[in-house]
Chain A
Amino acid sequence: MSEGADDGHLLVCQEVTVAYAGLRALSAVSLTLDRAEIIGLIGPNGAGKTTLVNAMSGFAPITHGSIQLGGAEISKLSPERRAHRGLARTFQHGRLFGDLSARENVELGAIAVGCSAREARRRTHALLEEIGLLDLAASPASELSHGDQQRVSVARAVVAEPAVLLLDEPAAGLPAEGLGELASLVEHARSARGAGVVVIDHNVEFVLGLSDRVVVLDHGEVLTEGTPAHVRSHAGVAAAYFGTVGSVGTDGTDGTDEAGTRTVPVP
């Protein structure tokens, strides 16, 4: 597990640029994450949120800049080596292993990063109990409801007890009552192990309620960052959302966001 960097920052993204076929999905984005800090990453469709998470986790190669975890450069490391350094993530659409049971999916998250089978079983049992999925533990992941898949996906990342937890749309498809369980899972990761958390979600209220600090991306650049209150009162944030409705999201800028119009809570 990675320890905090000397300057106190757990994760440092410095001028991270990601380009696909000459098109910039991210332009010199800088971001820091401290231990036990939750950062919300918001922005309209195509803003580059998922691209940034992909860059951090090694899913998307960066074309410029650097990413440091615990003071060590990780931008050239493979995704699995980043995971072993303490970086865990979830995916926009769960991306569970459908043939594996819910229990196996969560256990794998721990085993993959070197946890013993016994310890992985113990952690998995505790987590499934916490999110109320013990009864469905033996069910193949493909047979779970979308909401349950999302919760298993988050549990699979949390079970690794990562230093950094990257959550890509964890609340998608969750009913209102499921949001509380999700928030407690994230809190569990933060308080138990001091994990730093980056969370992206289209449910902006959920993100603002959960985060200590919020970074707003627009067109692959940082529009503003600050406390949730600061973001709520920032005129440019609403403009970014409303100004892009219907025109952004299908342009493939970040390649992974869901298309369609969205609303943002009026600051």
Chain B
Amino acid sequence: MTVVGYLVNAISLGALYALIAVSVGLVFGVLRQINLAQGEVITFGAYSLWLMRSLPTWLAIVLCFAVCIAASLLLQVAVFRPLRGASALTTLVATFGVSYGLEALWLIIFGPSGNTVSMLTSLNNTVVGGAVALRWITLVEIGAAVVLLGGLLLLLFRTSLGMRMRAVAEDLRAARLVGVRIGQVVTWAFVLSGASAAVVAVLATVQTPLVTPTFGLNLIIFALVGVVLGGLDHLGRATAGGFIVGFVNSLLGSILPEQELVFVTSLTFLFVVVVLVVRPAGLLAPRGADVERV
């Protein structure tokens, strides 16, 4: 593979992690709480694609969106709403528990060996063969990320919902006193977060068709690291952080000799640790910014 191929693949994985970072960042933005169970929403979406494998592809994808949005809203109602007013740490632990419980549930229902989603497999064909080895899914991931992140920017900066979300993210109490319906804004954040998870579920199952109980967990951990790396308190920076971690991870996987690929994860985390030691508020946060503690 050529340098161009490495870079495009790295951008593609970065784009996927950026989308996951968005799905986490949207909820964190309005509630200041991290949803560790977001990975399970992705896993649920991926399993739903497998369960609906006999349906037309478009219908299965539409239903995957419905499943992820419903799962996201269920998390809001069953976990975040009862814990309203609790500390961020309490919610963090609660969502960790939910994540662990759901993982066990997937294991019981679907078994440990995994289920293969054979949907949109043609996207794994190469666009350019030979040394570049560029696949369609790589381009689709980049395109989807550009379109969705662009759409999110438009939503946040060109609609009244976006204006309300940005106000709530900045000062929830003042937003309430101005009259912003916080519950409505939070619900929209979970809807958008669920939709982002659905996009990730579809794209990730094309790239890695074997869905296991830890399918979403493996993705969310890297994305969360990226969110912290970029800066937890700013959606744009968190998204960029997700992109950077995906990019670095993919690039390391491409350039390391095969016998050393086992160190990719360790080296990625080492990179993150070094960055956070130097810039505790995040790589992209302004100098002197407060460290967001949860």
Using a CB–CB cutoff of 8 Å, the interface residues on chain A facing chain B are 57-59, 78-80, 83-84, 88-89, 91, 95, 97-100, 104, 107-109, 111-113, 117, 120, 156, 160
Q: How far is the CB of B239 from chain A (nearest CB, A)?
A: 16
The listed residue (B159, B163, B174, B176) touching A78 by CB distance below 8 A is B176
Let me know if B177 and A58 touch, CB within 8 A: yes
Contacts A107-B163, A108-B163, A117-B160; A89 near B177 (Cβ below 8 A): yes
Q: A108-B180, A112-B180 known; 12 other A-B pairs, CB under 8 Å?
A: A57-B177, A59-B177, A83-B178, A91-B174, A97-B174, A97-B175, A100-B170, A108-B163, A109-B179, A111-B163, A113-B179, A117-B159
Q: Is B53 an interface residue (CB 8 A)?
A: no
Q: Is B81 an interface residue (CB 8 A)?
A: no
- CB within 8 Å of A: which B260-291 residues: none
Let me know if B166 and A100 touch, CB within 8 A: yes
Residue with the highest number of chain B CB atoms closer than 10 Å, among A89, A100, A108: A108
Contacts of A117 in B (CB 8 A): 159-160
Contacts A97-B166, A112-B164, A117-B160; A80 near B171 (Cβ below 8 A): no
Task: Tell me, in angstroms, the Cα distance from A103 to B163 when the chains sit together.
Answer: 11
Q: How far is the CB of B185 from chain A (nearest CB, A)?
A: 10
Let me know if B174 and A95 touch, CB within 8 A: yes
Closest residue of B by beta carbon distance from A105: B167
Q: Is B7 an interface residue (CB 8 A)?
A: no
Task: Tell me, in angstroms, the Cα distance from A44 to B178 when the chains sit together.
Answer: 27
Contacts of A113 in B (CB 8 A): 179
- CB within 8 Å of A: which B125-174 residues: 159-160, 163-164, 166-167, 170-171, 173-174
Let me know if A97 and B167 touch, CB within 8 A: yes
Closest residue of B by beta carbon distance from A99: B170
Contacts of B178 in A (CB 8 A): 83, 88, 108-109, 112, 156
Q: How far is the CB of A56 from chain B (nearest CB, A)?
A: 11
Closest residue of A by beta carbon distance from B170: A97
Task: Tell me, in angstroms, the Cα distance from A192 to B80 when the chains sit together.
Answer: 43
Contacts of B173 in A (CB 8 A): 59
Contacts A80-B181, A95-B171, A99-B170; A108 near B164 (Cβ below 8 A): yes
Task: Tell me, in angstroms, the Cα distance from A58 to B175 when the chains sit together.
Answer: 13
Residue with the highest number of chain A CB atoms closer than 10 Å, among B163, B178, B181: B178
Let me know if A98 and B170 touch, CB within 8 A: yes
Contact with A along B175-192 (1 / 0, CB 8 A): 111111110000000000
Q: How far is the CB of A196 from chain B (nearest CB, A)?
A: 17
Contacts of B160 in A (CB 8 A): 107, 111, 117, 120
Q: How far is the CB of B7 from chain A (nearest CB, A)?
A: 33
Closest residue of B by beta carbon distance from A94: B174
Q: List 6 A-B contacts (CB under 8 A).
A: A59-B177, A79-B176, A80-B181, A100-B163, A108-B178, A108-B180
Residue with the highest number of chain B CB atoms closer than 10 Å, among A78, A80, A83, A104: A80
Let me know if B176 and A80 touch, CB within 8 A: yes
